[in-house]
Amino acid sequence: MVPETKNKAPQSCRILVVGSDSGSRETLLEPLRWEMWDVRGVATIEEAEADFESWRPQIVLLDSNPDEAGSILLREFRSRLPHASVLYISDDSSTEAIISGLDQGADDYIIKPFVPLELLARIRTHLRIRDLQEKLVFANEKLKELVDIDDLTGLFNMRSLYQRLEFEIERGRRFGRDVCVIMMDMDNFKSVNDGHDHLFGSFVLSEVGKIVKANTRNIDIPARYGGDEFLVVLSEVSDDGAQLFCERLRKSIERMNFTNGEDSIRLTISIGYAMTQPGEVIAARELVRRADHALYEAKRTGRNRVCSYHPRSNVRVLDSARKASEPSKRRKKASGDE
């Protein structure tokens, strides 16, 4: 007769029993099957290794004393399954053995002969601990998203952008690869908020964020720079490739009819981009500033176009006509978007 137990763990629980004695393994496996858990028994770690990719146990019951051989086996499981809970099942009930087993890194120490219901209760305890740990990891991941991600568009925010851009510039310098910063700004976006409302303006920004993300590769870094400004970092791309990307993005937004309820509008964007120069040591903010200069030129010359920054072009002359500390404000003024 199978004993009734309370607070059963999820049936998806995977438990591996390791022991050289087949009879002892079966004694451990029998009560585990009462819970309908996914259980397997092996004599050695080598037998289990083949399944680790597709079947990774959450709990490992190590039928061994905490002697030298047991300690080696425990370390092997710790290295292969760092997130699994490992429990010693031992017939050595001495205080020294228990302390030794726990000090070696075991998560629990159960003495044989054991009471089956106590074994199940201890396993459920470890499963609850694992569940709390997984929830904590998930919460930390969500917290990191809140720190790194712009909540309106789902793109990276400016803080996260600069961290990643510095890394990409250094990586590009090390491996001789170009990095491109693309800055874009919605043309006459102020009219969206004035002619409709800020909720519709937020909807438009969210939709633009989706278009930007849909046009980028996994290795690219799309970000909302602030307000109606967006920025994309392209890695391993040529000047021609960057220009093609910018034109594709510009046309995608130009063709889009932004509709939400009774509100509908068509918009265009101006884009400026800057490439790292061969052999140049450049900071992330300087590369962004160059892209910002190119964007200013796109606004100044009529909007809804793409301009690139070149060290010897007219774009660089803008540096003497504008104060670098207020690029966005003057760009808006020059384009009439304020």
CATH assignment of the domain containing 256 = 3.30.70.270
> Is the per-residue pLDDT at 290 higher than 50?
yes
Q: How far apart are the first and last CA of the chain?
A: 80
C-beta of residue 67 within 8 angstroms of C-beta of residue 49: no
| Catalytic site residue from 187, 228, 292, 337 | 228
Domain-located, residue 221: yes
> Is the per-residue pLDDT at 180 higher than 50?
yes
Q: Which of 95, 120, 143 is the last residue of a domain?
A: 143
Query: Residue 280 — pLDDT band, cuts 50, 70, 90?
Result: confident
What is the average per-residue pLDDT within 152-159?
A: 92
The structure's pTM equals 0.58
Whether residues 53 and 70 fall in one domain: yes
Q: How many domains does the chain have?
A: 2
The answer to whether residue 228 is catalytic is yes
- DSSP for 29-55, please give it: HHHHHHTT-EEEEESSHHHHHTTTTT-
Domain-located, residue 3: no
Upstream peptide bond of 3 is cis (omega within 30 degrees of 0):
no
Quote helix, strand, coil % in the chain, to nearest 5.
Answer: 50, 20, 30
Domain-located, residue 187: yes
- For residue 240, the model assigns a pLDDT of 93
- For residue 313, the model assigns a pLDDT of 57
Whether residues 287 and 189 fall in one domain: yes
Domain-located, residue 6: no
Whether residues 266 and 317 fall in one domain: yes
Can you give the residue range of the structural domain that contains 34?
14-143
Q: Which of 121, 143, 165 is the last residue of a domain?
A: 143
Whether residues 113 and 158 fall in one domain: no
Query: Residue 10 — pLDDT band, cuts 50, 70, 90?
Result: very low
Kindly report the backbone phi and psi dihedral angles of residue 232, in degrees, each rounded to the nearest multiple of 5, phi listed first: -130, 135
- Contact partners, residue 5, CB within 8 Å, separation at least 6: 34, 35, 117, 120
> Is the per-residue pLDDT at 285 higher than 80?
yes
C-beta of residue 160 within 8 angstroms of C-beta of residue 223: yes
Whether residues 119 and 154 fall in one domain: no
Whether residues 292 and 187 fall in one domain: yes
